[in-house]
Copies of this chain bind each other. A is one copy, B any other.
Amino acid sequence: MKKTGQPTINDVARLAGVSKKTVSRVINQSPLLNGETRDKVQAVIADLGYIPNPQARALALRRNFLIALIHDNPNAQMVLRVQQGLLEVLRDTEFELLVHPVDRGAPDMRDEIRRFLERQRPYGVMLLPPISENDALAALCAQIGCRYVRMGSAAFDDPAHMVSSNDREAVRGAIDHLLAAGHRRICMIAGPHGFRSAFERQQGYEAAMEAAGLGVQRTWIAQGDYTFESGMRAAERLLDLSPRPTAIFSSNDEMAAGALHIARQRGLDVPENLSIVGFDDTSIASHLWPPLTTVRWPIATMARAAALKLIGDDDDEPDADAPPAEETMFVSTLIRRASVAKPQE
């Protein structure tokens, strides 16, 4: 207990009259040690307010007690909700959260991530879409010996490494809702190419339309890139169609807001003249006028589950009689608000 004022494991050992190693055993919950000595040591620990030094542990274990969140700058709301979910679990543990954004598109992204992983040696990493869809990154984590969990719109890794929503089903539900209200000319604003979420959501739309016997018209699908502006442009194309669509499903809320904007500019009342459904249920959805009907996926819950997988102690393959694996697939729900109505006669 010299310069820093913090008691060390040596102080505890001395005061408890045992060796360092015994203290270490108490801390790491080693099963083989006398109940009495353990209690004695723990009393000293509590008395001193001793806290193991994370830096020293990291050095000795060659592994830090940090969870890294690696993402590529997607939707701000999403990143934040993920952080909240993660931190909810991490709070009251010895883990802390490291945030490490990367630049997909940068040719050396993978090397950059490798350097990061090798330097910081985090205990586990959480991969957010869209880079979570990159199998090479997952392989990299595994190779380095770092735990990882990927978040995505479908299950594309095994349960231990995955938390996913089922966007395809969710979109089917949303389209069915529109169908049930009487809509037939239902157009879609799709997400950017190369995003699994965009793909899944479009598949859901197409499946629902096919199932309803309406088929899929190429011109009824306009592609955006998940931004407000791209939603405006897509809506313009769609609303130029004749006959005009009576409903638009957008792959995310941001683009749905853009579509709403364009509808307003054209003097179209929503939902009177046009119904709109979004996806994500970001805060913008409820703040818009009219409040947006949208699909909510339980992002914070998924993040919590991911954190549990990351810090859980089921290191290797679960036994046949082991407790059931934690949840992996999470269901989305359609939030019905005021942007959907029956189509006009």
Contacts and interface: CB of A to CB of B under 8 A. Distances in A.
A212 to B, nearest CB: 31
Nearest to A253: B287
Interface residues of A, number: 45
Contacts of A3: 62
Nearest to A260: B289
Nearest to A228: B287
Interface in A259-312: 260-261, 264, 283-284, 286-289
Contact of A264 (B62, B121, B289): B289
Interface in A112-128: 115-116, 118-121
A100 interface: yes
Interface in A49-77: 51, 53-56, 58-59, 62, 64, 66, 73, 76-77
Given A87-B101, A96-B100, A96-B120, A56 B59 contact: yes
A79 interface: yes
Contacts of A96: 98, 100, 116, 120
A199 to B, nearest CB: 26
Nearest to A91: B101
A202 to B, nearest CB: 24
Interface string A228-243: 1000000000000000
Contacts of A83: 99, 101
A76 B80 contact: yes
A4 interface: yes
B97 A98 contact: yes
B59 A59 contact: yes
A134 interface: no
A35 to B, nearest CB: 28
B54 A120 contact: yes
A228 to B, nearest CB: 6
A6 interface: yes
Contacts of A54: 119-120
A51 B115 contact: yes
Interface string A308-343: 000000000000000000000000000000000000
Contacts of A101: 83-84, 87
A174 interface: no
A257 interface: yes
Contact of A99 (B64, B97, B119): B97
Contacts of A121: 55
Interface string A164-198: 00000000000000000000000000000000000
Contact of A288 (B100, B116, B286, B288): B288
Contact of A51 (B53, B62, B118): B118
19 contacts: A3-B62, A51-B115, A51-B119, A53-B59, A53-B119, A54-B120, A55-B55, A55-B121, A58-B58, A58-B59, A59-B59, A76-B80, A84-B101, A87-B99, A96-B98, A97-B98, A98-B99, A228-B283, A254-B287
Given A51-B119, A98-B98, 10 more contacts: A54-B119, A54-B120, A55-B58, A55-B64, A55-B121, A96-B98, A97-B98, A97-B99, A99-B99, A261-B287
Give 3 closest A-B pairs by Cβ, nearest first. Answer: A55-B58, A55-B59, A76-B80
